Amino acid sequence: MEYLKWSYQESIATITIQRPPANALSSGLLRELSAILDEIEPNREIRVIVIHGEGRFFSAGADIKEFTTVTSSGDFANLGKFGQDLFDRMERFPKPIIAAIHGAALGGGLELAMACHIRYVSETAKLGLPELQLGLIPGFAGTQRLPKYVGVARAAEMLFTSEPITGLEAVEYGLATRAFPETDVLEQAYQLAGKIAKKSPVSIGAAIQLLNYAKTEEFYEGTKKEAELFGKVFISNDAKEGIQAFLEKREPNFKGE
């Protein structure tokens, strides 16, 4: 593994994102995460998963530089579909997944966190979907999961302004479960994992299945449309300008084309 490491002690597995400086999500990192889930799923000793980031952030977003190597709408749509399928698998995973978020969970990082069953955050963490700042849109079902947690109006505000909210606001809005001082987040996540690990794996797995019935057909129609538009938006001139401006650390000049 190049971007992730994982281990387990007793019944709790820990997945650590280790891609400094920002723990940016790349296609390679997502493939590694899929491979780790393949290993964990049949392991009867593991009952709960905690995922967190090493260093300053949980994950500050997707790997923008990788986007510059993709040129076609279809390739971008396929990338979006791959991420969507992986995060849907996480949401349906038979073992509970807890995200312990500190620093920032932005863009793809927040989409990853939203696919976890429970989110514990630091009080000062920044959570948001800033893709529109770059002339892009979320592609890993962020446009569908965020309204489910915070409501359509707040999701619209977060998307349209690209401005993040704090960990305390995330709890208030329903995006996170609990907030703690940054030094306590991971330990609190392990304490929660320990409580869950004492429950019957059979009943936990059944509860996860039932919770997923809360997803509507419109959710899946929305993710399909998101992947399609993800591809179209990413080859627009505005997207090219937004990515270039990000890499050059300047304000983008969008022309609506």
> Among candidates 126, 109, 125, 145, which has minimal Cα distance to 186?
125
> Among candidates 108, 96, 103, which has minimal Cα distance to 26?
108
Q: What separation in angstroms does the CA of 215 have from each of 148, 222, 227? A: 9, 11, 18
* Cα-based torsion angle of the residue sequence 150, 26, 86, 152 in order, rounded to the nearest 10 degrees: 20
Residue 163 designated active-site: no
Catalytic member of 32, 123, 131, 169: 131
Residue 111 designated active-site: yes
Please provide the size of the chain in residues. Answer: 257
Catalytic member of 111, 123, 169, 226: 111
Task: Extract the tokens encoding 61.
Answer: 């977003």
Active site residues: 111, 131
